[in-house]
Amino acid sequence: MSKKAWGGRFSDELDAVAARVNTSVDVDQRLGPEDVRGSVAHVRMLASRGIVSAEDAARIEAGLLQIEDEIRDGSMVWRADREDVHMNVEALLTERIGEVGGRLHTARSRNDQVATDMRLWTREACARTAAKIDRLLAVLARRAEGTVEVVMPGYTHLQRAQPVRLAHHLLAWCEMLERDRGRLDDAARRMNESPLGSAALAGTTFPLDREQTARALGFERPMRNSLDAVSDRDFLLEALSALSICAVHLSRIGEELVLWSAQEFGFIEMSDRFTTGSSIMPQKKNPDMAELVRGKSARVIGDLVSLLVLMKGLPLAYNRDMQEDKRPTFDAFDTVEDCLEVLTGALATATFSPERMRAALVEGFVEATEVADWLAARAVPFREAHHVAGRLVRLCVERRTTLPSLSLEDFRSAHPAFDESIFEAIEPEVAIERRSVLGGPARGQVRAQIEALASRLAARGVEVEPSSDRPEAG
């Protein structure tokens, strides 16, 4: 927008490069629907307080709703010379209904306007992302229900550690995602206050009803301090922090999918819809979508860091630096939502290999903890039991054999307490079933976890479809 349009203070036009740096409509036009919503709530309040006439308010609202329709159907023409979303909407409104359109800006500033728009947009983005997390959770719940009987190694340090159920592992992913959803919900609750009516920084002399506009826009209350209201971007920092943690979780899931689909593991085969080939090696089936989910976490973390650095040195109240808060916010939400959708599709269509998972339990001495626990349950101090089990593992390494292949005499040579029941105790399924503590991998505990997850999802309006996994996968 021309400098002269801002009044008598300016005599020269803005430098061409400065004008390009100054404009933000290429990014913030995305706030168009929120900008109109805030403006409609504002003008209705102005009319209810007698600040503008009912007739003027009706004309302004009708014009705004027409502009909103154009924004939503994509026919709105955004002009860079009008700087931002706010001035594009207001200038177009004034073009269409005349100077009465200028009354819309009575008792407000672009400072409280953009703060309101961003809270409205981010609040809904949190809900939208949470819904996508729920869809991924529903897929994982279905796959878990179908793989309760599939046993596999659990890992620490990427070394085979103890036997668990595949369903137990999938439910661990669910716990991570549930916390991510909770953080977004928390952020949305905390941001649910209205800055509108704070004007530039010190409120206004007009007798506004800020409670009315807050209610009209679905906020719980107006913000208490006008200076804070236009300065605060904590709500964006908190939302992007939640998104960054979620992106890290998605990256860890992606990493496990990459590992599991490698021929060295062979635990899973990804659908053709979520893999790609090689430009030179015809045999390749690459888990590129899982790799991209892993890689895109860096972008989301970068968005958070950009916003933190942007805000760290700013004095109160509004500073133009804050124009740069939108791009990282939009990018972080877009990226996480895309990653959630990709993983939802990839996990819904992947094929697990119960045979490969079960076979992976043969090597790696995953029964060693069972040996130590067996002794500890018979009054052998655990540290001694641990040492005995370690000696038996060393014996297996020397003989190039496995713990189940040892004889009873081998076991008794390490400790006289051993009897024939040790062989049943080190069977993977038996070992898993002995771990029936809350949160453990035993069948009953896993089924209870699946049912609890399905109940939580149902309470949020999300149904878990019946499992279609193969019978041998449960």
Digit-coded pLDDT (tens) for 79-97: 999 999 999 999 999 999 9
| CB-CB neighbours of 128 under 10 Å | 12
- Are the C-beta atoms of 167 and 367 separated by less than 8 Å? no
Q: Please tell me the predicted confidence (pLDDT) of residue 303.
A: 98
CA distances from 142 to 170, 202, 256, 271, 348 (A): 10, 54, 19, 17, 9
Place of tokens 């860091």: 305
Look up the pTM and report it: 0.94
The number of C-alpha atoms within 13 Å of 418 and in the hemisphere containing its C-beta is 22
Residue 5: pLDDT band with limits 50, 70, 90? low
Q: What is the pLDDT of residue 7?
A: 60
Range in 146-150, 160-164, 278-282, 416-420 the model is least confident about: 278-282
471 pLDDT more than 50: no
Q: Does residue 169 carry a catalytic annotation?
A: no
Beta bridge partners of 159: 156
Query: Could you give the 3-state DSSP secondary structure of residue 23?
Result: coil
pLDDT at 463 over 50: yes
What's the rounded Cα separation, in Å, for the pair 251 and 339? Answer: 9
Average pLDDT of the chain is 95
Q: Enumerate long-range contacts of 267-273, CB under 8 Å, 24 or more apart.
A: 267/152, 267/352, 267/353, 267/356, 267/357, 267/360, 268/350, 268/351, 268/352, 268/353, 269/350, 269/351, 269/353, 270/346, 270/349, 270/350, 271/345, 271/346, 271/349, 271/350, 271/351, 273/345, 273/349
Which percentage of the chain shows pLDDT scores above 70? 97
Q: Does residue 13 have a pLDDT over 90? A: no
* Distances, alpha carbon 246 to alpha carbons 16, 258, 337, 409, 440, in Å: 41, 18, 10, 51, 24
Of the listed 2, 53, 278, 421, which one is catalytic?
Answer: 278
User: What is the rounded end-to-end Cα distance, in angstroms, of the chain?
Assistant: 65
433-441 mean pLDDT: 96
Confidence of residue 1 (pLDDT cuts 50, 70, 90): low
- Which helix (H) or strand (E) segment holds residue 368: the answer is helix 368-376
413 tagged catalytic: no
The 10s digit of each residue's pLDDT in 178-222 is 999 999 999 999 999 999 999 999 999 999 999 999 999 999 999
Which one of 11, 75, 157, 279 is the catalytic residue? 157
Query: Hey, what domains does the chain have and what are their CATH numbers?
Result: 3-106 (1.10.275.10), 111-205+220-354 (1.20.200.10), 368-459 (1.10.40.30)
pLDDT for the residue 472 = 40
Q: By C-alpha distance, which of 243, 235, 237, 236 is closest to 297?
A: 243
pLDDT score, position 8: 67
CA distance 285 to 133: 27
Residues 257-284 as b/e (b if ≥16 CB within 10 A, e otherwise) read bbbbbeeebebbbbeeebbeeeeeeeee
pLDDT at 473: 40
- Write the DSSP symbol of residue 466: P
Residue 349 contacts by C-beta under 8 Å, 6 or more apart in sequence? 270, 271, 273, 274
Query: In the prediction, which pLDDT does 234 show?
Result: 98
- Is pLDDT above 50 for 129? yes
CA distance 271 to 351: 8
**Residue from 92, 60, 62 nearest 75 by CA:** 92
- The answer to whether residue 224 scores a pLDDT higher than 60 is yes
Whole-number Å distance between alpha carbons of 176 and 154 = 17
474 has pLDDT over 50: no
- Which class for 169: exposed (0-12), middle (13-18), buried (19 or more C-beta within 10 A)? buried
Mean pLDDT, residues 122-134: 98
Amino acid at 45: M
Q: How confident is the model at residue 418 (pLDDT cuts 50, 70, 90)?
A: very high
